[in-house]
Amino acid sequence: MTAAGKGTARARAAVHGTVVAWPPGGGVLILGPSGAGKSDLALRLIDRGARLVGDDYIHLFASGPGLYASAPAPLAGLLEVRGLGLVRQRYLPQARIALVVHLAARETVERMPRMRYKFLRGVRLPVMSVDPWDQTAAPKVEQAYRRFGATRRLGLAVPSPTPTRTRS
Task: Record the pTM.
Answer: 0.82
All structural domains of the chain = 13-154 (3.40.50.300)
Tens digits of per-residue pLDDT, 110-137?
777 777 888 889 899 999 989 999 999 9
DSSP secondary structure letters along 34-76: TTSSHHHHHHHHHHTT-EEEESSSEEEEEETTEEEEE--GGGT
Cα–Cα dist 17/43, whole Å: 14
Tens digits of per-residue pLDDT, 132-163?
999 999 999 999 998 876 655 555 544 444 44
Cα–Cα dist 168/116, whole Å: 42
Cα–Cα dist 106/41, whole Å: 14
